[in-house]
Amino acid sequence: MRVLVACEYSGTVRDAFIRRGHEAMSCDLLGTDSEGPHYKGDVMDVLGDGWDLMIAHPPCTYLSVSGLHWNKRDKERAAKTEEGLAFVQLLLDAPIGKIALENPVSCISTRIRKPDQIVQPHQYGHDASKKTCLWLKNLPKLVGTEYVEPRLVGGKPRWANQTDSGQNKLAPSKDRWKIRSTTYRGIAEAMAEQWSN
């Protein structure tokens, strides 16, 4: 297959498909973090290039429910949410037969449509929790590959990336956004394996 991985700079998903013999290319406004086929620029430049499958990771900064409360205080931020939703809709409507769009819990669910599936890294071999929504077009839901048991804190499940209260352990830093937005390899491998058929 010809696979476009939109809005990906890490190469994680792209490389999982390449390892399975597909022609895959990542695309982002940023350069790639790992050697491989990558278009640095606007995804609109390559969206109509005859792809069989697109996996899109649109920026979540203005879409994620964790930040939407700021929109009431900041009209510019609210406008960026509307731009983000328009971009998501553009990706979902792309002329590509198979599409998966990935984002955290966000206003996409209430403004466009509910996700087809929600996955967690701990279902794919990682000792981590990060609720990830998938909007699918002509693709089956992913099947978990390896469940990682949590530790229990006061009867509540917690994984290695969480504090006892359930917050993310990753301290604020200039590249925290980049680390948190990278797809877990186990999920990328499941996409490549299960969507290759």
Q: Give the chain's domain count.
A: 1
Cα 70 from chain centroid (whole Å): 22
Give the pLDDT score at 69. 73
Residue at 107: amino acid letter: C
Provide the greatest CA pair distance for the chain: 52
CATH (domain of 105): 3.40.50
pLDDT number for residue 180:
74
Tell whether the model's pLDDT for residue 65 goes beyond 90.
Answer: no
| Average pLDDT value for residue range 179-185 | 84
Q: What pTM did the predictor assign?
A: 0.92
* 8 A C-beta contact, residue 61 and residue 72: no
Structural domain span for residue 156:
2-194
Say what the pLDDT of residue 168 is.
Answer: 83
* HSE-up (13 A, CA, CB side) for residue 80: 16
Amino acid identity for residue 17 in this structure: F
Burial of residue 100 (number of CB atoms within 10 Å: 0-12, 13-18, 19+) = buried
Q: What pLDDT shows up at residue 124?
A: 98
Tokens of 193: 């394996």
Report pLDDT digits (tens) over 2-29: 999 999 999 999 999 999 999 999 999 9
